[in-house]
Amino acid sequence: MKKMTKKEQFKKFVSDHSETIAKVTVYTTLAVGCIAILANATSKANESQKALADGIDAYNSWADSENEWIEQKAAEDKAVFLLADWTYLVVPKDTETEWVWDRNKNPKL
């Protein structure tokens, strides 16, 4: 029997075990695909988390500026009311406010 080279041994192994090699190839491809999907999902989750944190920071910045404006108006002896259309009504503090609906006093209106 002739001594086979490594290349010939490899070719013989492949031809003798072609079904097994095909299965291993499919499973390896599936595993690599799953890892790629997981890596992509992790990356997108991190991006979403950063975007959410940026959005929360922007909202907090806006709320701080609104609160500062309301405090400034209070220092000027003004009362500030938030209206239903999300606009503000600024009136002198001594203005009668019976017309302002208080949901705590009359929640059914």
- The structure tokens listed for 57 are 């920071």
Q: What is the pLDDT along the chain (109 residues), one digit of tens a residue?
A: 678 888 888 888 888 888 888 999 999 999 999 999 999 999 999 999 999 999 999 999 999 999 999 999 999 999 888 888 888 888 888 877 776 666 666 666 5
HSE-up of residue 52 (Cα within 13 Å, Cβ side): 6
- The structure tokens listed for 35 are 């890892």
Query: How far, in Å, are 12, 48, 95 from residue 54 at the CA level?
Result: 60, 10, 40
Of 19, 65, 99, 5, residue with least CA distance to 89: 99
Q: Where are the alpha helices (DSSP H) in 76-91?
A: none
